[in-house]
Amino acid sequence: MQEDDEQGRIRSLASMARALAPSGALPKLLEMAAEEACGALCAASVSVSRLRSGSLEVRTIVNVGDLGPNEERWPVDEAYLMSEFGDLNVGMDEVVTWAWDLEDPDILASERELLLQLDKGSSLSAPIIVDGQLWGEVYATRHRGEQGFDRDDIAYLEALLAILAGAISRATREESLTELAFRDPLTGLLNRRALDEAAAAAFSVPPGEHREVAVVVIDINGLKLVNDTHGHDAGDRLIQSVATTLLMGFSRILDSVVARVGGDEFT
């Protein structure tokens, strides 16, 4: 690597450390990191994906740069299974960064197919490790005919992802605190505080505008009898079942909200 390139990447890492230090919305943080990596690596494109909790599905959050056919900057349903690609299909102690090139005779068949599909010549895949757990992946590409990724590229990306991991950890903790503040822990529905805010927004109609708002109040008859007869675990399961039924039913109505506002009361 030339000295100018090395200095540029050091400045890039310093810039990202400053930019990611403040708390912010997770998608925006990931977009910033992807854009920075795309420029510093002279990449054609960079994608950031997240491993879905409790599954082997990896879902793409943001794509930047010169995107391939059918790629979108903020994809709705771009996902794949870890088992489809060898770079993430390993245990935590074996997760490493991989660089592939179409001219590499040992390239995985799945990776070759993906590069051809994206009309790219080489790729660089690096895991995002947050708080000791595999969180997701960054995937960079270069155009055909360009030099493939090397050790210096790998070192830069791994350093960038170490900075990004700290930002993700902070953002995730803040998301969790928000969930605790506005969600009922038993059912996952909105709580009374969240309902109050949603109601205030729904009834705040600008002068001259008309808005129809419907409010449905529901309670569970006989919950105390279930608790007394079968125990509180059975009562909790009944509450959760009702919550799921309400959520599924009202999810068909645009802009609807469902909240648990008391022991057996829902709105």
pLDDT tens digit sequence for 101-136 = 999 998 888 889 989 999 999 999 999 998 888 899
What CATH number should be reported for the domain holding residue 230?
A: 3.30.70.270
Confidence band of 254 (pLDDT split at 50, 70, 90): confident
Mean pLDDT of 81-97: 57
Mean pLDDT of 246-259: 80
Question: Taking 70 as the threshold, does the pLDDT of residue 172 lie above it?
Answer: yes
Domain end marker among 138, 153, 181: 181
Same domain, 12 and 114: yes
Q: Please give the Cα distance from 44 to 199 (Å, whole number).
A: 46
3-state secondary structure of 137: strand
3-state secondary structure of 152: helix
- Please give the pLDDT value at position 96: 79
- Please give the pLDDT value at position 58: 83
At 258, phi and psi to the nearest 5?
-125, 130
Same domain, 243 and 168: no
Buried-state track 115-126, b at ≥16 Cβ within 10 A, e below 16: beebebbbbbbb
Which of 90-99, 143-152, 188-197 is predicted with the least confidence, judged by mean pLDDT?
A: 90-99
Same domain, 39 and 161: yes
Number of domains observed in the structure of the chain: 2
Confidence band of 154 (pLDDT split at 50, 70, 90): very high
Question: Taking 90 as the threshold, does the pLDDT of residue 147 lie above it?
Answer: yes
DSSP-derived secondary structure letter, 52? P
- Please give the pLDDT value at position 84: 63
3-state secondary structure of 107: coil
Question: Taking 50 as the threshold, does the pLDDT of residue 91 lie above it?
Answer: no
3-state secondary structure of 79: strand
How does pLDDT run across 29-51, given as a tens digit for each residue?
A: 899 899 999 999 999 999 999 88
Same domain, 116 and 173: yes
At 26, phi and psi to the nearest 5?
-60, -45
Same domain, 99 and 194: no
Q: For the chain, give the mean pLDDT.
A: 83
Q: Please give the Cα distance from 4 to 10 (Å, whole number).
A: 10
Taking a C-beta distance cutoff of 8 angstroms, is the pair 88, 95 a contact? Answer: yes
Same domain, 192 and 175: no
> How many of the other CB atoms lie within 10 Å of CB of 19?
15
3-state secondary structure of 6: helix
3-state secondary structure of 124: strand
- Please give the pLDDT value at position 89: 46
Confidence band of 27 (pLDDT split at 50, 70, 90): confident
250 lies in which domain range?
A: 183-266
Q: What is the DSSP string of 210-236?
A: --------EE-TTHHHHHHHH-HHHHH
pTM over 0.95: no
Taking a C-beta distance cutoff of 8 angstroms, is the pair 149, 122 a contact? Answer: yes
Q: In what order do the strands lie in the sheet with 45-51?
A: 79-81, 57-65, 45-51, 133-142, 122-130, 98-101
Mean pLDDT of 124-150: 92
